[in-house]
Amino acid sequence: MERVPILKIGDILLVSIQVDMSDQTAVALQEDLAERIVATGCHGVIIDITALDIVDSFVGRMLSTIASISRVLDAETVVVGMRPAVAITLVELGLSLNGIRTALNVERGMELIAADREREYDEFDDSSDAEPTASP
Amino acid sequence: MTSGVDLSRPQAQTVGSDEDVVRVRQLVRTVAVAVKLSLVDQTKVVTAASELARNTLVYGGGGTVEVAAVDNGRRPGISIVFADSGPGIADLELALTDGYTTGGGLGLGLSGARRLVDEFDIQTAPGQGTRITITKWSR
């Protein structure tokens, strides 16, 4: 069975799917990614599907599952590079890709994840500012 | 022909494993390109074939897929037959409903595949296996 490589770039895990995945390969990717998120502490996952010429219901479900798993592990998933014909087919097939964030390319996906992290830090700062200081 | 596929006769592919489903997708893609389907229509028919070949494997316990270049006198097209001798489908109407599944999937395989093609024919009965024929015409 082929395995899809997972690259670490700073705080982000980048998965670029370059093969026509068998269902087994897709399931293995789910498990490999979960392990890498925990092992690296990365807060973002980008899945580049530029090279995929179809996304069927199995791969669609895999993308949704990866997004859910990474959210539970404190990482945000962005799917990038979907071809127009794939998008048209997905919608007609009836797949809504629930909970999946998308961006046009890897660069925009990285910006999206960075902006998210910044917002989270800001909220964290605000709430700590609001804490009353303990009086002796 | 550069594709290396003989279009004058149907091409058969047995479906007995995950990798065979990948081979079905590749064969369908090759024929869809050869009969000059548009890129969107190629994508639709390959996606439909992927769903149905997976059903043949998962629900039918394996089977065969036959891919043929066809012509209705006005337009060329691609016709694909998925045949298995599995348990068959008892309630066809229910099986063709969006979201209905017995296998833990999304329940979009049959209903979604039907939406993606021009012609969809299914012959099945309990204990008699399932035979699905789909056709997509070039526009």
Instruction: Indicate which CATH number applies to the domain containing B119.
Output: 3.30.565.10
CB-CB neighbours of A120 under 10 Å = 13
Label residues A58-80 b or e (16+ Cβ within 10 Å = b). bbbbbbbbbbebbeebebbbbbb
Q: How far apart are CA B75 and CA A15, in angstroms?
A: 41
What is the predicted pLDDT for the residue at A118?
A: 86
* Chain B residues closer than 8 Å to A85 by CB: 39-40, 42-43
Give the residue-averaged pLDDT of A24-35: 95
Q: For A35-57, write each residue's pLDDT tens digit.
A: 999 999 999 999 999 999 999 99
Distance from CA of B73 to the nearest CA of A (A): 27
| Closest by Cβ to A93, choosing from B19, B40, B115 | B115
| Closest by Cβ to A85, choosing from B18, B22, B39 | B39
* Chain B residues closer than 8 Å to A18 by CB: none
Instruction: Examine residue B45 and state whether it is found in any structural domain, yes or no.
Output: yes
| Closest by Cβ to A57, choosing from B21, B46, B109 | B109
Give the residue-averaged pLDDT of A58-62: 93
SS3 at position A110: helix
Q: Give the CATH class of A6-130.
A: alpha beta
Domain that holds residue B20: 12-137
Instruction: Examine residue B7 and state whether it is found in any structural domain, yes or no.
Output: no
Instruction: Examine residue B132 and state whether it is found in any structural domain, yes or no.
Output: yes
Distance from CA of B117 to the nearest CA of A (A): 10
Return the residue in B17, B29, B43 with the most chain A beta carbons within 10 A, the one to mutate for interface testing.
B43
Higher local confidence (pLDDT), B105 or B77 = B77
What is the predicted pLDDT for the residue at A119?
A: 85
ipTM value for the complex: 0.89
**DSSP-assigned letter for residue A135:** P
Name the domain count of chain B: 1
Given CB atoms, is B18 within the 8 Å cutoff of chain A?
yes
**pLDDT band with cut points at 50, 70 and 90 for residue B1:** very low
Does residue B48 carry a pLDDT above 80?
yes
Give rounded-to-5 percent helix, strand, coil for chain A: 50, 15, 35
Instruction: Examine residue B29 and state whether it is found in any structural domain, yes or no.
Output: yes
